[in-house]
Chains A and B, each alone.
Chain A
Amino acid sequence: MSARENNRQKLLTRRAALLAGGQAVLGGALAARMYQLQILDRDKYAVMAEENRISVRLLTPPRGRILDRFGAALADNRPNYRVVVVPEQAGNLEGTLNAIAKLIEVAEADRRRIMRDVQRKHAFVPLVVRANLSWQEMARIEVAMPELPGVAIEQGLIREYPYGTGASHVLGYVAPVSEKELTGDPLLELPDFRIGKNGVEKALDPQLRGGAGTSQVEVNAFGRVVREIATTPGQPGREIVLSLDAALQEFVVKRCSVEQSLSCVVLDALTGDVLAMVSSPSFDPTQFATGLTPALWQELSTDPRNPLTDKVIAGVYPPGSTFKPVVALAALEAGAMTPDTSVGCPGYFSLGNATFHCWRKEGHGAMRLHDGIKKSCDVYFYETARRVGIDRIAAMARKLGFGSPVGLDIPGERGGTIPDRERQAALTGVAWQPGETLIAGIGQGSVTATPIQLATMAARLVTGRAVVPRLFRPEGRLAPGGDVRTPSFPELGINPRWLALVLDGMNAVVNEQGGTAYAARITDPAMAMGGKSGTSQVRRISAAEREHGIRKGTAVPWKERDHALFISFGPVNAPRYVCAVVVEHGGESGGGGSAVAAPICRDVLTETQKRDPARRVPQPAIAENAPATQSAPPPTRSDPRRG
């Protein structure tokens, strides 16, 4: 071996050693990196690995039921079945959809949505083909399922309202959460979560909602659930008991269906419990929960009769003659009138240059308090109002519940307006005119009120206490024999003598011959009612019309007809229930409060007293069974008389 050869070998050996050294350094770098990742940063990466694999999913809790005072469900949860398809199991999705379409109806829009979703979502995510399956439809799918790979039926809960349109304004409805309702609570972001949008559903949404359950699942990189690790069941929403009597509500709905647009409310005058509360026409809240078609929404929102508005609390009307008890009480309290003060009614009343007409052109003759209320003489109340003045009328009105919301705990309640001089000056800057006091004295002009305020007034008149209506019964269902503890309201501080006189006048309205609502009296003396009729103008009556006689009934367009009102209480000798009815635009006949509204009050109060929901718990068969099958008595009408 040559020296050169030897040198070269030495060079190679040297360089091989260098190479080995370099490799050792690099190998050491690998070991150091492993040390860094697996020892130093281990905790950080361990957390990241857990976050990767564990996904917490929220479970929608069942929404609390809403019950009536006896425990009948007004809002319930019904299983809702939907057919879903898992694309990766279905294989040929188009073919599967065709097969499903042979069994049940599949809309073209749904089909397009599925074909679009399948592009965007993972193939293992179930796609809803159709929700709200009927039993027959479900059965057809179930039978065919062996031949339909990837097709499954899923169950969810859907809000159901057994009384349909009957209590929709009180209950409101639920619908998917809108963008601006999101609070950051992840429960609200669940696709099948529904939020209360109106009525009780909205007012008590936090209690009804319940708490979300959680399901910890292990997911893979594609989001597919590999297994469930732990499940915490959700907290179901609280059950809410309302003061309503579902069967009475049902009765009122039926009774009211004869008129185009009205509101009717029945209160327990002692407790303030709202026993029935109907605004007609109505809507079906279930349709909101399952999804409203644009056409139906259009129809509901443009109907001049406002089916979406709860007119009991949000309908604002001039109270007309139903306001007269307020004026009478204000005058008696102020000493401006005595029960025996006599006012002559020639059919009109002059103040300065202006003439104010009585509803009865020919006049009533000499009127005292009793007859003034009984015959609803406008001139008597012009004079009474003139004497007592607007400010004291307003104070009494507010005491009896007018001028601001009565505080029913559902959204949308309006306050109406009670004018006085100060208010008028502040609002318009124009001084109050004496003539306006006269107009206010018969419940017209800027005096407005809601039906719930009218009922509240009636309840306060019969009890002398500041009764506040309530829809919720925090104490739960009614105990057999009636509540032991009832809410006690403070005294109004009105002289009971004056109250008795006014109630006596209201008794005469119904039960004495010549009273404006005598035709609508309840003949059973144990259930006899007292009341006050009212007809409120929607538009001014022109001089020409007065000259030629006021056009009656159907000659006037519906929207321009007068409103017919009636407030009532019963039984007249020991009042417990009060009822207020406002028929928008006088109903079909165009008649006044005594002709149109009073018969409804009569029938409703009769039924209320028969059922006696303040004291008597009906038989379970009636309480538990949904819609009772009482038929409304045929509406009876007497000659239209103005009240």
Chain B
Amino acid sequence: MASLSVDIGQRRLSLADKLRGIQWGLVILIAAISGIGFAMLYSAANGSLQPWASRQMTRFAMAFVPMLIVALVDIRHWFRSAYWIYAVALVLVVAVDLRGFVGMGAQRWIDLGVIQLQPSEIMTIGLVLALARYFHCVPNENVGRISRLIPPVMMIMIPVALVLKQPDLGTAMLLLASGAILCFLGGVKLRMFALAAATAGIAAPIAWRFLRDYQKTRLYTFLDPEQDPLGAGYHITQSKIALGSGGVFGKGFLLGTQTHLSFLPEKQTDFIFTMIAEEFGLVGGLILLGLYVVVIGYAFSIALRSRSLFGRLLGLGIAASFFLYAFINIAMVMGLIPVVGVPLPLISYGGTAMITMMLGFGLLMNVGVHRDVRISRRGESELG
């Protein structure tokens, strides 16, 4: 473990300085959102801490200290190990294909004994770290060159392809979008995005052939959920009924009929937002949305105050993936996009998602704590 204190120029950043530098407001926000999650998991179990709420609380507690440690470790340590973390995540993603077992119709998990690890989620952080480091190191004059674009595109496409093959459409979309946002922030010319979009347009029919039947069905279902209300369209139809019937103020805590009578599927994981909106109505949904906006705003302000490109990219990348998680999940349960199976950050029941999210926020705080640290292309400290 790298030292917890660091020199910046003349001023030495002590552990106490760092602790002061942590954005405690953000910590409180994270705890508040997680608290909403615990309450909803309590409700999902018909008013019981078992089996979800208590385990989710344990995970939060277990991830809380590592989050702070991640925030306090010298940012240059993360800079130097960015590619390694990416590589380890990639190995894990490959590993699920080899020794993962089938969960929910897809090979997504590695059983580490303590938790079931979902490497594709770890990959989101690995990808953000690796791309942030890459664009930090690319000389400004070279950033527009196509040759300089090949490594980041590879970095994005390899995990996307592997995750798509698992098959996990949602996480693949998420990785692709996060990667694209980092490229955009990293200064890649806009015409390159146009080129990529055109390529994707041509490749889409080919990719269609690699989609699993259930993924195709989900896309069809998305286009017309009423077509098959008791089959594949059941989830989304029931979710919309639950949301709509919640009205302005909702049916009350523990009183959501759709969720408690099991009409709503996967209520503790992917469809937990539906439950919030059913029990607390439009008001509850907007409050949660507002909390997410505040978190993202916090993340933007932290990122933009960083003096290093790495820090800015890392902070914005984490903010972007947090946004993407929330947006994809909420849009999905409201029938705006296909059902793709992305968790609602900090709220959905799930070990890897919780830990990934917390470690991501640890890195974000790290950027805030080390906002004045300048980083050379090789990861050395530069005088500010």
Contacts and interface: CB of A to CB of B under 8 A. Distances in A.
A550 interface: no
A4 interface: yes
A178 B137 CA distance: 83
B185 A31 contact: no
Contacts of A431: none
B185 A53 contact: no
B21 to A, nearest CB: 21
A226 B257 CA distance: 11
Interface in A30-61: 30-31, 33-35, 37-39, 41-42, 44-46, 48-50, 52-53
A31 B289 contact: yes
Given A13-B304, A37-B244, 15 more contacts: A12-B186, A16-B304, A16-B312, A23-B296, A29-B336, A30-B289, A30-B334, A31-B289, A34-B285, A34-B286, A39-B248, A42-B248, A45-B240, A53-B261, A218-B261
Given A11-B187, A19-B184, A27 B257 contact: no
A139 interface: no
B316 interface: yes
Nearest to B257: A53
How many A residues touch the partner, as a band? 35 or more
B300 interface: yes
A19 B316 contact: yes
Given A30-B330, A220-B263, A222-B262, A15 B184 contact: yes
Given A8-B309, A12-B187, A48-B245, A37 B261 contact: no
A48 B241 contact: yes
Interface residues of B, number: 48
Interface of A: 2, 4-5, 7-9, 11-13, 15-16, 19-20, 23, 26-27, 29-31, 33-35, 37-39, 41-42, 44-46, 48-50, 52-53, 218-222, 226
B261 A226 contact: yes
Given A23-B296, A221-B261, A222-B262, A38 B187 contact: no
Contacts of A9: 309, 312
Contacts of B240: 37, 45
A7 to B, nearest CB: 7
A44 B244 contact: yes
A2 to B, nearest CB: 8
Contacts of A34: 243, 277, 282, 285-286, 289, 334
A403 to B, nearest CB: 61
17 contacts: A2-B140, A4-B140, A7-B140, A9-B312, A15-B187, A16-B185, A26-B323, A30-B330, A33-B334, A38-B248, A46-B244, A49-B257, A50-B257, A52-B238, A52-B241, A220-B263, A221-B261
Contacts, number: 134
Contacts of B281: 38
A215 to B, nearest CB: 17
A16 to B, nearest CB: 6
A505 to B, nearest CB: 80
Interface of B: 140-141, 143, 181, 184-187, 238, 240-248, 257-258, 260-263, 277, 281-282, 285-286, 289, 292-293, 296, 300, 303-304, 309, 312-313, 316, 320, 323, 327, 330-331, 334-336
Contacts of A39: 247-248, 282
B245 A42 contact: yes
A41 B258 CA distance: 16
Contact of B247 (A12, A13, A46): A46
A381 to B, nearest CB: 78
Give the one of B245, B262, B331 with max A CB within 10 A.
B245
Contacts of B244: 37-38, 41-42, 44-46, 48-49
Nearest to A20: B300
B262 A8 contact: no
Nearest to B312: A12
Nearest to B327: A26
Nearest to A23: B323
A151 B154 CA distance: 63
Contacts of B263: 49, 52-53, 220-221
Nearest to B256: A49
A37 to B, nearest CB: 5
A342 to B, nearest CB: 91
B128 to A, nearest CB: 14
A379 B247 CA distance: 97
A616 to B, nearest CB: 64
Nearest to B334: A33
A457 B241 CA distance: 72
A220 B246 contact: no
Nearest to B283: A38
A38 B242 CA distance: 9
Give the one of A9, A26, A35 with max B CB within 10 A.
A26
B289 A12 contact: no
B286 A221 contact: no
Contact of B245 (A15, A19, A45, A221): A45
